Structure 1
């Protein structure tokens, strides 16, 4: 239980650090362009402590569930003092305001990449593309007519060990079996199961191409229907985590970041249709592991991952959360940063069209006219947060179903 609590605390701390860096991204970008940053605080509620350095007040508040960066004149409605007016954010060029507004999400993307890079060099990255990379080489392959016999790892003296005898090693990437290219592990299984006897197997080992001769054994295996079948076997398991060196980890982490961001966007598109399942889970229905989770639920899963020693799950969840928050925050909805970016570019396009028509610039958008839309978005967002938090308390998603 103590390890679980530690895991929850660590994940919650990771979220707090992410949010603090999000606001720091806004602050650094704003200061670099000469905008005035009044305050930068981590957390909400009563102030624990604060100090002033230059023109900015920095501090920590008691409730560590967010933070804020107070930039003078973020909108034309913000009150500014006479000395702040020339440096009000809304007076700056569109691209500079866009960079400042997007800096928070960009920080999440960078942080997610850093987490993945640390994973890549320490424990590897998930093999989500089904690469035919070997994890372990078995001491033998054997026939089995039942599921119970199939799950028995005991080797007998006469059992062959094709992969081991041929010199196949952990980390080898099998690129061809018997002349048939194997782009995925499923391709490898299909080629091996059709083979028999001495078979040429081409592998990549530390970047070097090698050709091995594997004496593929024919064994009896149980089928899902309850029968048996004769298939080729070599005795090797797939690597579900792909290791990287310090140098190649940059490319591997970048590629995995792209794949994870695409998956995150797809999950975000599916988000609305998953809400009814969350409501059902609150009232006793089975919790779908694909349903959205709150910070509470993510922290609980992080705690379970640490308790079970699954640090790869912990870090992958932390990286995924950063990508989700970064992408979500760029949606063109107020009060999200993406909503402010949309308004900024609306002003730019509107003024460009007015200029073509010989008219003067229209001036900053009146945010009071958007307050109704903003309120609706906040109410819907608050309702979703309440639903997911409730579900994560009464019917949480677990790594191992109990």
Structure 2
């Protein structure tokens, strides 16, 4: 395994993840500034500041731990309301109430009366939703765009019309590999003179754009003699082949053989030529992208919904003898390790294009994970703020219907104990995944 290639793979996924986080925070920053909210910080990472520069009223910077990012908007919590003049200010000595009051007082100390209408809490509900959904939406867009580049620019694993092998005889569909051709009829392709390396251009007058066209043309030909146009060594040749009607496997939409309820091969009587295409990355129509994005979303959502169970399984694998689920949750270290393995892999047929495609697929999955995870309706995630804004909208609409005064913004500072609890759980999850990625890593190549 080349150390240099391994490091390049790690750097590639690290840069891609950093850009994804930066664009996520940009998705919050742009609408916040557009709505007039004063944004004091735009930071990539957590912990000590490594590099920072102030432009206008916002400080832009990079921090030491590249595990996320944030923007800081003034007035995330509404200020405390003073009682009427001459009365004592409302105050509570309860621990949670005190925590809420101190958080609101600290928020209020960060800006003056001139910025009272530039706070996040002063925004209308629709604008709050736009600001908080802007980050996850950016990750969703990135995931779809990366999938688009992968599908339309590089391609997905498939079969090209370049002939890789030519059958010498007609064997039964369920014949085991290595069965002798002795006593079997010759295959139509071999009899027609088709050779490995030929590129199939048309069969029976039907142009060949992909392997699906080859299968459809041959199966439709039955046992008729048809023209097969191939390209060989830069020359176009027209050959004549007579497919035979034989029991062949029924294929699904992805070209895989269909099995019945008992696991037996399902066959049908169709035309058979006896050629195999060449596996390669095949560019697909943009119409494939929405379906793939939906599959990525639903798959990620299932992982998030079952996260407690999956983390328990990760813990059992990390501290026990169980094998780790390759489709389970993985941390930053694990993702970086996989990226390094991909870049340094020396597997037959796994060349530069395949490596780039795999890294892009990983980056698309990471962005989809950021999209789904941030929509969890718990503070301090974006979904928690979204839920707060939705509750605020319902409260205000209900007050209007009943002719009551505006109840004002929802005070999310009251949820600080829950916020700290959730943050602690996320911290434990991060540490667990970090440990598991070190002692029981997921690998692509055994």
Change (3 A) 1:46 1:275: closer
For the 8 Å contact 1:297–1:397, the answer to whether it is kept is yes
Partner of 2:62: 60
Partner of 2:306: 270
Q: Which of 377, 398, 401 matches 1:332?
A: 377
Separation of aligned partners in 1, 2:357 and 2:418: 40
Separation of aligned partners in 1, 2:292 and 2:280: 14
Change (3 A) 1:141 1:289: same
Separation of aligned partners in 1, 2:340 and 2:242: 44
Three-state SS of the structure 2 residue aligned to 1:34 is coil
Cα offset for 1:329?
0.2
Question: Over residues 218-276 of structure 1, what are the superposed CA-to-partner deviations in whole Å (9 max), with x where a residue is unaligned?
Answer: 6999xxx9xxx9995632348674404xxx54x44344323322332233333333223
Q: Which of 88, 109, 125 matches 1:94?
A: 125
Separation of aligned partners in 2, 1:216 and 1:301: 47
Max radius of gyration: which structure? Answer: 2
Q: Which of 154, 176, 195 matches 1:123?
A: 154
Question: Over residues 7-51 of structure 1, what are the superposed CA-to-partner deviations in whole Å (9 max), with x where a residue is unaligned?
Answer: 012112211111111111111111111111111122223323322
Which range moves more in the overlay, 136-145 or 262-271?
A: 136-145
Partner of 2:83: none
For the 8 Å contact 1:22–1:107, the answer to whether it is kept is yes
For the 8 Å contact 1:216–1:234, the answer to whether it is kept is no
Three-state SS of the structure 1 residue aligned to 2:243 is strand
For the 8 Å contact 2:187–2:274, the answer to whether it is kept is no
Partner of 2:442: 397
Question: Over residues 184-205 of structure 1, what are the superposed CA-to-partner deviations in whole Å (9 max), with x where a residue is unaligned?
Answer: xxxx9xx79xx9744889xxxx
For the 8 Å contact 1:137–1:164, the answer to whether it is kept is no
Partner of 2:5: 3
Separation of aligned partners in 2, 1:325 and 1:135: 38
For the 8 Å contact 1:171–1:239, the answer to whether it is kept is no
Separation of aligned partners in 1, 2:129 and 2:412: 17
Cα offset for 1:123?
1.2
TM-score, L = length of structure 1: 0.77
Cα offset for 1:116?
1.7
Matched, 1:171 2:199: no
**Gapped regions of structure 2 (runs ≥ 5):** 79-103, 181-185, 195-199, 228-239, 250-262, 346-350
**Gapped regions of structure 1 (runs ≥ 5):** 128-132, 153-157, 179-187, 202-211
Three-state SS of the structure 2 residue aligned to 1:326 is helix
Partner of 2:365: 320
Matched, 1:137 2:163: yes
Change (3 A) 1:103 1:126: farther
Change (3 A) 1:64 1:272: closer
Three-state SS of the structure 1 residue aligned to 2:121 is helix
For the 8 Å contact 1:134–1:236, the answer to whether it is kept is no
Cα offset for 1:134?
4.6
Three-state SS of the structure 2 residue aligned to 1:45 is strand
For the 8 Å contact 1:177–1:200, the answer to whether it is kept is no
Cα offset for 1:102?
0.5
Separation of aligned partners in 1, 2:153 and 2:216: 31
Separation of aligned partners in 2, 1:2 and 1:8: 10
Separation of aligned partners in 1, 2:372 and 2:8: 29
Aligned alpha-carbon RMSD (Å): 3.6
For the 8 Å contact 1:25–1:103, the answer to whether it is kept is yes
Partner of 1:48: 50
Change (3 A) 1:20 1:230: closer
Separation of aligned partners in 1, 2:242 and 2:394: 65
